[in-house]
Amino acid sequence: MTATGVVVAFDEAKGYGTVRGDGDGDGAEHFFHCTAIADGTRTIALGAAVSFEVAAGRLGRWEATNLVVLASEGRPRAD
């Protein structure tokens, strides 16, 4: 299932961050690693609106995967 949310933290040096889901879910925050950014750039701006999937992570927690930065209309950005 795909969810939408906002990047609330990202440490470029360590390569991980947190995304907060929108109100359509429970608004939970999910950890993500830079390798989960779909366009392969390994960096993402704070406050970026994204779509993502939630999956079981390696450490036994739920993590955000397949992060895609959204255009202002809520659709994937066309590069």
Instruction: Tell me the C-alpha distance between 49 and 73, whole Å.
Output: 10
Domain 2-69 has CATH 2.60.200.30: no
Query: Cβ contacts of residue 4 below 8 Å, gap of 6+?
Result: 21, 22, 24, 49, 50, 51, 52, 70, 74
Of 22, 20, 23, 24, which Cα lies nearest the Cα of 32?
A: 20
- 41-76 residue pLDDT tens: 999 999 999 999 999 998 889 999 999 999 865 556
Instruction: Tell me the C-alpha distance between 34 and 40, whole Å.
Output: 8
Output the pTM of the full model: 0.83
Four-CA torsion 5, 32, 38, 75, nearest 10 degrees: 0
